[in-house]
Structure 1
Amino acid sequence: MAESTFNFFQHWYPIAPLEDLDPKRPTPVTILGRRLVVWKPTVSEQYRVFLDQCPHRLAPLSEGRVDLETGNLMCSYHGWQFNPEGECTHIPQAENPDLIAKNKDNFCVVTLPIQQINGLLWVWLDEKSADLAASTPLPLSPSIDASKGFVWSSMVRDLEYDWQTLVENVADPSHVPFSHHGVQGNRKQAKPIAMEIAQSTPDLIEATLSRGFATRITFEPPCRLEYAMEFPGGKKFGLVVYCVPVSPGKSRIVGQFPRNFAKTLHHVIPRWWDHIQNRNLVLDGDMVLLHYQEHRLQEYESTQSWKTAYKMPTSADLLVIEFRRWFDKYCQGKLPWEQTVVKSPEQPLVNREVLLDRYKQHTMICESCSGALKNVQRSQVALIGYFAVSVATVAAMPDNLRVSLGLPLIALALIGLGGYAWLKFWLEPKFYFVDYVHSDK
């Protein structure tokens, strides 16, 4: 691979866990500035990914629907339909029945290669190199393998900072005791990290850590960044992060968390509970820091490079330095936004409510959490309804029954009211917004 020709578009990117995609409706997604639509034909087990624009008048196909009769994707603007291969199959306004056949190539939608592996939907962003896509292995983790005794969970979240900021942050283990104090680390136990770069090539960077147990960090450009940790006794734990560039100042993280122990616990804990109590909390701990850090670095880069803007004197910084060098050497320190994104004025800093908006960034695109939120809201209605009915029933009781029957009903109603308050004021907000104040941790 030549130093100046790293092609971000000719690589596989995960879109989301399959369990978070709705097979009944089109889903919009943006990767590297390309606006895409994900949909599932009714006659297939495979999703499809198209460019999110109808060839008729460029309306977004993600606002369309999957037609129940044909199983094809219908544009909601004028009703044009497209089959799984992207071919136009129906134009309601066509007077000439041969119109579609005569313009087959001109009326088709741009389709992209996809694969469904390891519970994720993958897309290849260059529609002109499908043969290369077919011969290019996906950046899969060896730990996402049930035959090796691993179990894993997954999650996806959209982030308010750029791809290179996300890669840089995940490649930096030394921030964990501080950014995630009380969640995944302890600031009082922070120690120097003896890190070495084991290899660095255009296609792979590997680092090793010495901290009491074997740890290897692998960066496979442009998206896979994996921690593989092995503890005494053969216990293995991993962090597999796919860093997906979305648009300037925005990225998506698709994470998988494998381990070969505590398997029963894995099956017992609901996925949504793990998200609101652990995974989202970790991302919240970084969000404000990284958003502001990124803007400050952009200010510095108008007059100097990261090499002088950053002060990185310890071995804990080695992987960040190696990534930045890789990014400069093979990508000229930039993503190819000019190929897909219309230049716009620099985005202003975003307030905390937007930065930590769990609902838009995660809940609405996570099947587990959106389903749990609906159940939480339904339970609130049931509990408040039970309270009202109980109070009304006791009020209508004869005096001689109010003690024997009324008091137990009121007691249960009050317990239900407490449950309602817990759901309404403690659990439900965790699906929407939780402020992360480091000084309070």
Structure 2
Amino acid sequence: FDGKSGECVEIPQIIKSASVAMGGSGGGSGSGSGSGKNAKNHQIEQTSATIPSRACGTAVPAQISQGMVWLFPGGGLEKALAAPPPPTLPEVEAGMKTSTVFRDMPVDWPIVLSNISDPDHGLFAHQNKNFDMYAASIDTPFEKFVVEETHGGKGWSLKAKIDAKDKIIEIDQSLRGELKLKLDDPKVQKKNDKKKKQRTSKGKKSKSNDSPLWATMHYHGPTSYKMKRVDKETGETKFVSFFYVCPVGVGRCRLLAGGASNMQTPRWLSYLMFNNFIDQDTYLLATQQHNILSKEADELRALMKEKGMDHRDDDLTMEQLKSLRMRTRRKSFVLPSPTDRIGAKLEQFWDETLARSPNRIKYLLRLDESGVFLQKPSREMVLDRKSQNLDLCKDSQDVVRNCRRVQKSAKVLAAVLVLAKVTFTSSARSSPALAFLPSAALSMLRPMVKTSSLVSMCSFLLAASYLAGKLEKEFYFKYTDDMRKRDMKNIPKNIWVDR
């Protein structure tokens, strides 16, 4: 293959052309008695079958950055070299270890990124109070909020910074009267005084560790987002959450997520937490997207008709696509929260740039015409962990395989122990079933089949089998509507009081 063009230039089994030298000898007569020999070379060219076009590939510039392979489908090598570099994590360069997971999602990639970038949703959709550290309020607005074009207009970035403290939770506690109760509680006051003394005795090091933190967020357009809490004095962090959303089609994407820290989490444990976390709001996004994409398709048709463009035309120029600036998302969403400054800028970014995404217009309008946006997807399809991760990930497959082995082995061992107990009880040493065993083996078996030992060992084996079965189920559809309702009940209990 030609690495630059992707053209197939040679197939060893097909001879493109060959010169075959054929030597010959012959006799001749001349005047007189002499004789002579002459050789004649015959050049024969063999022409092969034409190399089929299907044997050729499309050459795409690629780059490896921090263990990830980045492709540039927007042109040749020259354009790729002039494009902005992939986003990186300085913390990884500094030596932090990463724990990564992925999952295919039947949700459009801009919707997934808008959701990830919204700290407010984490409190309610995930009942996770840590998101409040990144949220803004009227009393605590963003300390820093910067939106800028980067790399000479080829990139786009949004950065925000805010005090890493409770905002919504603090208001909720105030409404419940819990904040006042805690301050007046002598036990709590005594505990706080003790902590102050410990901080004072530990000196400067303790002061540095206990200093307030900044919560920072960075969206690196178009497909990555990271968030972390950093020490205000040193700028150091202990953990970074990062997300890369890879578009794989209209209404589909692959979400790669991970954390960078000084220790690496076992992959199976990462998937256990990640899948449960993602399931909590993915179905909402999947049902929301049908309305958004349908409106986007309608507006694109109107804009293209107004500008005399045909969506079936594959030769639309970038300048023509840049002129298709929509208002779909800005007209669809109401964003009144102080934190929604992030969402407002992101939705504006999508409206102004999505039409430029390769092949988006063609496939979006085709899906809309097929009526797919009128159909409500099932929860089982949207949250099917098997097709979205298990069928694609070797690590997940290994976990499921090991879980099945543990279940099978535990049941077999438990059955063997019970059988041994019955055999010993009924016939002891004279049993034909035990006659072939040496005395040493019998001595080892007898303590194991005592009633107390047998109960303990069988209980352990059954517990191991049960836990392995529970872990195996984590890689299949799990998050039912009943589980969603259970999660919703946690909101008034822990996040926001009903009044």
* TM-score of the pair, normalised by structure 1: 0.68
Distance in 2 (CA, whole Å) between partners of 1:172 and 1:373 is 33
Please tell me whether residue 155 in structure 1 is matched to residue 150 in structure 2.
Answer: no
Alignment equivalent of 2:343, drawn from 301, 312, 320:
320
Residue 140 of structure 1: aligned partner: 87
How far apart, CA to CA, are the structure 2 residues paired with 1:142 and 1:162?
25
**Does residue 168 of the first structure (1) align with residue 214 of the second (2)?**
no
What is the Cα deviation at residue 166 of structure 1?
A: 1.1
Say if 1:140 and 1:93 are closer, same or farther in 2 by CA, change over 3 A: same
2:218 aligned partner: 218
Paired with 2:53 and 2:478, the residues of 1 have a C-alpha distance of: 50
1:391 CA drift (Å): 2.1
Q: 1:434 aligns with which of 460, 468, 478?
A: 478
Asked whether the equivalents of residues 155 and 366 of structure 1 are also in contact (C-alpha less than 8 Å), the reply is no
How much does 1:169 deviate? 0.8
Matched, 1:231 2:228: no
Q: 1:259-270 residue pairs with structure 2 within 5 A?
A: 259=261, 263=262, 266-267=263-264, 269-270=265-266
Alpha-carbon separation, structure 1, partners of 2:448 and 2:350: 73
Which residue matches 2:308? none
Amino acid at match of 1:123: L
Q: Are residues 375 and 409 of structure 1, via their aligned partners in 2, closer, same or farther at CA, if it must alter by over 3 Å?
A: same
Cα 1:85–1:324, aligned 2, differ >3 Å: closer, same or farther?
same
Q: What is the Cα-based RMSD across aligned positions, in Å? A: 3.7
Deviates more, 1:101-110 or 1:171-180: 101-110
Q: In structure 1, what is the equivalent of residue 125 of structure 2? A: 179
1:207 to 146, 159, 169: 159
Cα distance in 2 between the residues matched to 1:396 and 1:96: 80
SS in 1 for 2:254: strand
The answer for the alignment partner of 1:131 in structure 2 is 78
Distance 1:103 1:356 in 2: 45
Report the 3-state secondary structure (helix = DSSP H, G, I; strand = E; otherwise coil) of the residue aligned with 1:253: strand
Q: Is the 8 A contact 1:194 1:209 kept in 2?
A: no
- C-alpha contact (below 8 Å) 2:224/2:243 kept by paired residues: yes
**Deviation at 1:418?**
2.4
The answer for the alignment partner of 2:184 in structure 1 is none
TM superposition shift of 1:134:
3.7
Query: How far did 1:314 drift?
Result: 2.3
Residues 122 and 320 of structure 1: is their aligned pair in 2 closer, same or farther, counting only changes over 3 Å?
Answer: same
Please give the alpha-carbon distance, in whole angstroms, between the structure 2 residues aligned to 1:182 and 1:174. 10
1:246 is paired with a residue whose SS is strand
Q: Quick one: which amino acid aligns to residue 125 of structure 1? A: P
Please give the alpha-carbon distance, in whole angstroms, between the structure 2 residues aligned to 1:392 and 1:183.
52
1:395 aligns with 2:422: yes
CA separation of 1:300 and 1:318: change in aligned 2, threshold 3 A: same
1:92: Cα distance to partner? 7.4
Letter in 2 for 1:292: T
Q: Cα gap change, 1:157/1:215 in structure 2, threshold over 3 Å: closer, same or farther?
A: same
Match of 1:364 in 2: 391
Instruction: Select which of 47, 50, 68 maps to 1:120.
Output: 68
2:413 is equivalent to residue 386 of structure 1:
yes
- Alignment partners' CA distance in 1, 2:239 and 2:260: 6
Residue aligned with 1:431, SS = coil
Query: 1:104: Cα distance to partner?
Result: 7.9
Give 1 or 2 for the bigger CA radius of gyration. 2
> Are residues 183 and 432 of structure 1, via their aligned partners in 2, closer, same or farther at CA, if it must alter by over 3 Å?
farther
Q: Check 1:389–1:358 CA distance in 2 against 1; reply closer, same or farther (3 A cut).
A: same
Cα 1:206/1:100, change in 2 over 3 Å: farther
Q: Which amino acid aligns with 1:111?
A: A
Alpha-carbon distance in 2 for matches of 1:428, 1:99: 58
Partner Cα separation in structure 1 for residue 54 and residue 286 of structure 2: 43
Following superposition, the deviation at residue 342 of structure 1 comes to: 8.9
Does 1:418 find its partner at 2:366?
no
Once the two structures are overlaid, the 10-residue window that deviates more, 100-109 or 212-221, is: 100-109
Query: Which residue is equivalent to 1:65?
Result: none
Q: Structure 1 pair 251/184, CA: closer, same or farther in 2 (3 Å)?
A: farther
CA distance in 1, matches of 2:329, 2:365: 26
The Cα shift of 1:413 comes to 2.5
1:287 aligns with 2:282: yes
**Cα distance change, pair 346–141 in 1 and its aligned pair in 2 (3 A):** farther
With over 3 angstroms needed to count, the CA separation of the structure-2 counterparts of 1:322 and 1:415, relative to structure 1, is same
Asked if 1:377 is matched to 2:404, the reply is yes
Amino acid at match of 1:272: W
Shift of 1:132: 2.0
Native 8 Å contact 2:159 2:218 kept in 1: yes
Match of 2:449 among 399, 402, 406: 406
| 1:365 to partner: Cα distance | 2.5
**Whole-angstrom CA distance in 1 between matches of 2:51 and 2:260:** 49
- Is 2:8–2:51's contact at 8 Å kept on the other side of the alignment? no
- Compute the TM-score of the two structures, normalised by the length of structure 2: 0.61
3-state SS in 1 of match to 2:227: strand
Does structure 2 conserve the Cα–Cα contact (< 8 Å) formed by 1:88 and 1:107?
A: no
Q: Secondary structure at the match of 1:219?
A: strand
Q: Offset of 1:101 from its aligned partner?
A: 8.4
Question: Contact 2:6–2:58 (CA<8 Å) still a contact in 1?
Answer: no
Q: Distance in 1 between the 2:388 and 2:48 partners?
A: 40
Which 4+ runs in 1 deviate beyond 4 A?
88-102, 182-187, 299-304, 332-335, 338-342, 400-405
Task: State whether residues 156 and 255 of structure 1, in contact with CA within 8 Å, keep that contact through their aligned partners in structure 2.
Answer: yes
**Counting strand residues as a fraction of each chain, which structure ranks higher?**
1
**What number of residue pairs does the alignment pair up?**
350
- 1:161-212: per-residue Cα shift (whole Å, max 9, x none)? 101101211221111111111586589x986262453123252222313133
Partner of 1:273: 269
Retained in 1: the 8 A contact 2:109–2:245?
Answer: yes
2:289 partner SS: helix
> What secondary structure sits across from 1:433 in the alignment?
coil
Name the CA shift for 1:294/1:99 in 2 (closer, same or farther; >3 Å). farther
8 Å contact 2:283–2:379 — kept in the other structure?
Answer: yes
CA-to-aligned-CA distance 1:200-258 (integer Å, 9 cap, x gap): 32522223131333233222222122224313563343222112111121111112322
Structure 1 unpaired stretches of 5+: 1-47, 51-81
Q: Is the 8 A contact 1:90 1:100 kept in 2?
A: no
**Residue pair 2:390, 2:397 contacting (<8 A) in 1 also:** yes
Q: Which residue of 2 aligns with 1:354?
A: 381
1:374 Cα deviation (Å)?
A: 1.2
The answer to which structure has the higher helix fraction is: 2
